[in-house]
Amino acid sequence: MASTSYNERRSEIETYFDRTAADAWSALTSDAPVSRIRQTVRAGRDEMRATLLSWLPADLTGLKVLDAGCGTGAFSVEAARRGASVVAIDLSPTLVELARERQPTDLAPGHIDFRVGDMASVEGESFDYVVAMDSVIHYDPQHAVEVLERLAANVRCAMLFTFAPRTPLLAVMHAVGGLFPRGDRAPAIVPIGEKRLHGDLASAPGLADWQRGRSHRVKSGFYTSQACELRRREANSG
Alpha carbons 191 and 163: distance in angstroms, whole number: 7
Q: What share of the chain is helix, strand, coil (3-state, %, to 5)?
A: 45, 25, 30
Residues, the chain? 238
Report the 10 Å Cβ neighbour count for 29. Answer: 19
Pairing between strand 64-68 and 85-90?
Answer: parallel
The tens digit of pLDDT for each residue in 21-43 reads 788 889 999 999 999 999 999 99
d(CA 49, CA 65): 15
Q: What is the pLDDT along the chain (238 residues), one digit of tens a residue?
A: 467 788 988 998 888 888 777 888 899 999 999 999 999 999 999 999 999 999 999 999 999 999 999 999 999 999 999 999 999 999 999 999 999 999 999 999 999 999 999 999 998 899 999 999 999 998 999 999 999 999 999 999 999 999 999 876 656 655 555 544 444 445 568 889 899 999 999 999 999 999 999 999 999 998 999 999 999 997 554 4
- What letter represents residue 206's amino acid? G
Sheet of strand 85-90, all strands in order from the earlier edge strand to the far edge: 111-116, 85-90, 64-68, 127-132, 155-163, 223-232, 210-220
